[in-house]
């Protein structure tokens, strides 16, 4: 084993009290963070000594400790004890099993100002979820720490994604947005038709598609959760001829394991590379050929919204420009670096199978969008958030525009969403 890895292994064994464990497996992998930074981790699977010579690669025995550590900063990213069982000696224990005790440990363990910068968003019997706030304002995507312990108070789960904050700069900006400010055009645009699941099927409703409105009122921050830096395209896809359908799906190989040399040389993650105009053109040609086979009579009906890299593939996000369907139709296409289509996922077909919504199109819409907007308007919410804008590569102060109510398109009745969800 490389001496640098051996040092991390020894540190881990001491930190987590793994005297009665042996290192069964280990590997190096990398992750691309929000700001485009590549972080390298060592994953270790520690098996209890009672399971000597464990060889099953599909399943780990109860009590196994799976631990990830940042190889450069030596910060622990996660520690998971299988089935909530631990054989650690002198490990992390919370005798009182309360939130203040956990906060104190986190402050010492991470060096963060837990009391000032984090709020406890979830507090189950033995599970705590802390979410970072910035001057009292939450972040999106959320920056969080999760801790779980067993009935003895022994830590059995720890996970954090706080490393994304390494390039964050303080923002001193006064939040000025309000529902009375001139955001009506954006608000109207966010009222959309949606499917609402119920025990006996689905109903069609008007709901609000949440969005983040910039504090400077210069538009919205795109709600893109995909990895990699997106390349916004917004281009209509048009072709003249159809092609015989001989498309064959290929298996997607997602292997993020890396060598010791690449890890310690800090080789940038392939997904961090910007997408060039030449790559866009290659992808466009590949997408056209694919659509000519799978959607031959829909020329001009699809838009390439954006491209992004993930797991060394290019992901093309398509949306129907003017669908006759009640709901936006979307396709996610996977391409190799030469622009060849490898696989795809038609999201409408997927949701139709899950929701069994074959009769939705026959339902009569008796309420107009304008009527729905006026009914929902009293329930609109606008909450301050710092949102990471992947285009500008920085955190931006925004207002999260949302609504916890919906309008039935047949009865016009207004109801609360509660724990349900909308399918747009």
Q: What is the pLDDT of residues 352-381, one digit of tens each?
A: 655 555 555 556 788 999 999 999 999 999
Which of 160, 185, 215 represents a domain boundary (last residue)? 160
In a domain, 170, yes or no: no
> pLDDT tier at 332 (50, 70, 90 boundaries)?
very high
CA 313 to chain centre: 17
In this structure, the answer to whether residues 333 and 365 fall within a common structural domain is yes
In this structure, the answer to whether residues 151 and 185 fall within a common structural domain is no
In this structure, the answer to whether residues 183 and 57 fall within a common structural domain is no
Question: Residues of the chain with pLDDT > 70: what percent?
Answer: 88
> Is the pLDDT confidence value at 281 over 60?
yes
Phi, psi of 37 (to 5 degrees): -80, 140
Question: Residues of the chain with pLDDT > 90: what percent?
Answer: 54
pLDDT digits (tens, 9 = 90+) for 226-239: 566 788 899 999 99
pLDDT digits (tens, 9 = 90+) for 344-353: 999 776 656 5
Q: What strand order describes the sheet that includes 201-208?
A: 191-198, 201-208, 405-408, 414-416
In a domain, 111, yes or no: yes
> pLDDT tier at 174 (50, 70, 90 boundaries)?
confident
What count of residues does the chain have?
424
Phi, psi of 272 (to 5 degrees): -85, -10
In this structure, the answer to whether residues 288 and 392 fall within a common structural domain is yes
Q: Are 331 and 247 spatial neighbours (Cβ–Cβ below 8 Å)?
A: no
In this structure, the answer to whether residues 216 and 85 fall within a common structural domain is no
Distance, CA of 332 to CA of 346 (rounded, Å): 7
Distance, CA of 105 to CA of 305 (rounded, Å): 45
SS (H, E, C) 21-48: EEEEEEEEEEEECCCCCEEEEEEEEEEE
The residue that leads in pLDDT, 422 or 405, is 405
pLDDT digits (tens, 9 = 90+) for 258-276: 999 999 999 999 888 889 9
CB atoms within 10 A of CB 185: 7
In this structure, the answer to whether residues 349 and 403 fall within a common structural domain is yes
In a domain, 172, yes or no: no
In this structure, the answer to whether residues 128 and 205 fall within a common structural domain is no
All residues at 6 or more sequence positions from 42 whose CB lies less than 8 Å from its CB, including other chains: 5, 8, 9, 26, 27, 28, 68, 69, 71
Can you give the pLDDT at residue 228? Answer: 67
Cis geometry, peptide bond prior to residue 141 (ω within 30 degrees of 0): yes
pLDDT, the chain, mean:
86
In a domain, 168, yes or no: no
All residues at 6 or more sequence positions from 78 whose CB lies less than 8 Å from its CB, including other chains: 66, 67, 68, 158, 159, 160
All residues at 6 or more sequence positions from 269 whose CB lies less than 8 Å from its CB, including other chains: 30, 31, 32, 38
In this structure, the answer to whether residues 10 and 148 fall within a common structural domain is yes
Distance, CA of 370 to CA of 187 (rounded, Å): 11
Q: Are 424 and 204 spatial neighbours (Cβ–Cβ below 8 Å)?
A: no
> pLDDT tier at 169 (50, 70, 90 boundaries)?
low
Average pLDDT over residues 205-222: 88
The structural domain count of the chain equals: 2
Average pLDDT over residues 115-137: 84
Average pLDDT over residues 270-284: 93
Which pTM was predicted?
0.81
In a domain, 377, yes or no: yes
Which of 129, 160, 191 represents a domain boundary (last residue)? 160
Q: Tell me which residue has tokens 């990830």.
A: 68
In a domain, 166, yes or no: no
CB atoms within 10 A of CB 124: 8
CA 162 to chain centre: 15
Report helix, strand and coil shares of the chain as percent, to nearest 5.
25, 35, 40
In this structure, the answer to whether residues 192 and 142 fall within a common structural domain is no
In this structure, the answer to whether residues 182 and 155 fall within a common structural domain is no
In a domain, 171, yes or no: no
Structural domain span for residue 127: 3-160
Give 231: exposed, middle or buried? Use CB within 10 Å, 0-12, 13-18, 19+. Answer: buried
In this structure, the answer to whether residues 96 and 202 fall within a common structural domain is no
Can you give the pLDDT at residue 424? Answer: 47
Average pLDDT over residues 165-171: 50
Q: Are 368 and 389 spatial neighbours (Cβ–Cβ below 8 Å)?
A: no
Distance, CA of 396 to CA of 392 (rounded, Å): 9
In a domain, 165, yes or no: no
Most confident of 167-171, 190-194, 377-381: 377-381
All residues at 6 or more sequence positions from 392 whose CB lies less than 8 Å from its CB, including other chains: none
In this structure, the answer to whether residues 146 and 281 fall within a common structural domain is no
CA 138 to chain centre: 16
Which of 104, 134, 160 represents a domain boundary (last residue)? 160
Element (H, E) at 144: strand 144-149
Q: Are 53 and 39 spatial neighbours (Cβ–Cβ below 8 Å)?
A: no
Average pLDDT over residues 126-139: 87
> pLDDT tier at 322 (50, 70, 90 boundaries)?
low
E strand map for 215-354: 220-221, 231-237, 302-310, 313-320, 330-335, 341-346
Pick the range with the lowest mean pLDDT from 56-65, 317-326, 371-380, 412-421: 317-326
């Amino acid at each position: 084993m490389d001496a640098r890895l051996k040092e991390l292994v020894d540190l881990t064994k001491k930190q987590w009290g793994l005297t009665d464990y042996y290192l069964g497996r280990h590997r190096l992998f990398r992750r691309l963070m929000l700001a485009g930074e590549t972080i390298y981790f060592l994953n270790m699977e520690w098996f209890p000594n009672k399971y000597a010579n464990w060889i099953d690669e599909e399943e780990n025995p109860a009590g196994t400790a799976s631990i990830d550590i940042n190889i450069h900063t030596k910060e622990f990213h996660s520690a998971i004890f299988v089935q909530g069982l631990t054989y650690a000696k002198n490990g992390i224990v919370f005798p009182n099993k309360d939130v203040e005790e956990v906060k104190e440990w986190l402050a010492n363990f991470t060096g963060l100002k837990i009391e000032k910068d984090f709020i406890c968003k979830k507090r189950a019997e033995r599970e705590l979820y802390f979410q970072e706030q910035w001057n009292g304002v939450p972040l999106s995507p959320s920056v969080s720490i999760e801790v779980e312990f067993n009935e003895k108070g022994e830590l059995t789960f720890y996970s954090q994604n706080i490393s994304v904050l390494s390039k964050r700069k303080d923002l001193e900006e006064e939040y000025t947005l309000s529902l009375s400010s001139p955001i009506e055009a954006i608000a109207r645009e966010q009222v959309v038709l949606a499917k609402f699941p119920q025990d006996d099927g689905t109903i069609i409703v008007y709901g609000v598609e949440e969005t983040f409105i910039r504090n400077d009122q210069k538009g919205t921050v795109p709600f893109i959760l995909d990895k990699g830096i997106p390349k916004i395209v917004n281009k209509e896809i048009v072709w003249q001829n159809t092609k015989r359908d001989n498309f064959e799906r290929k298996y997607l190989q997602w292997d993020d394991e890396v060598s010791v040399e690449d890890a310690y040389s800090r080789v940038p993650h392939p997904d961090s590379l910007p997408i060039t105009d030449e790559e866009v053109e290659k992808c466009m040609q590949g997408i056209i050929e694919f659509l000519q086979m799978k959607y031959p009579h829909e020329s001009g009906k699809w838009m390439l919204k954006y491209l992004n890299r993930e797991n060394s593939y290019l992901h093309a996000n398509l949306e129907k420009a003017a669908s006759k369907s009640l709901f936006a139709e979307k396709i996610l296409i996977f391409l190799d670096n030469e622009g060849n289509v490898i696989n795809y996922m038609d999201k409408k077909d997927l949701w139709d199978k899950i929701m069994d919504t074959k009769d939705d199109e026959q339902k009569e819409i008796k309420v107009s969008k304008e009527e729905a907007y006026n009914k929902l308007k009293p329930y609109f919410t606008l909450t301050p958030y710092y949102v990471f804008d992947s285009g500008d590569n920085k955190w931006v102060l925004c207002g999260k525009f949302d609504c916890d109510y919906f309008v039935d398109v047949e009865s016009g009745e207004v109801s609360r969403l509660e724990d349900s969800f909308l399918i747009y």
